[in-house]
Amino acid sequence: MLAAILGLAASSALAQVAGLEFTDEAACRINEIAYGEPARIEARRVQQVVEVKVAANFGCATTAGKARAEESAGELRLYAETVLPNVPTPACKCTRHLAYRFSAKAAGPVRIVFVKDGRVEGEGRLDP
C-alpha cells in the first residue's frame, strides 16, 4: 500500500546488473559532440552479455567514474559521474568514450538511458 501511495510500482523497481565492467577511454575529443547535443549510445547483445558504448560530453581534464547500471522491465539505466582532478581545469567540453559490459536479464527490446551527474544525457535502444 505504501508503494501505491508513493506512486511506486514493484515492476518498475530498478535492480543492479550482474558483473558490470566499465572503462573510460584515456583521452577525450574536444567538440566531437556539439555542446547541448545528447550523448550517443550504441548497444549490442552477445548471447546474455550486453555491450554499450556511450559518447558523452564531460569537462576538459575530467574523467568518468562511479559507474553503475540498473535494469527493470524494458529499461536499462547507465550511470557515470564527473570526477574532477586535483588541479584547476580549463573551461571547455570534450567527448569521453565509455564502455559498459554486463549480463542482462531482459531478452527483448530495451530502452537505454544514460544518466551523468544525475541528469539524463541521452537515450538509445537495444534490440534483440
Instruction: Give the rounded distance of the alpha carbon of 74 from its chain centre.
Output: 15
Residue 113 near residue 56 (C-beta atoms within 8 A): no
Q: Give the cell for residue 24.
A: 573510460
- Of 72 and 98, the structure prediction assigns the larger pLDDT to 98
- Of 117 and 17, the structure prediction assigns the larger pLDDT to 117
Report the C-alpha dihedral over residues 83, 89, 92, 93, rounded to 10 degrees: -20
The pLDDT value given to residue 13: 67
Around Cβ 104, how many Cβ atoms within 10 Å? 18
pLDDT interval class at 26 (50, 70, 90): confident
pTM of the model: 0.83
Locate the domains of the chain by residue range: 12-126
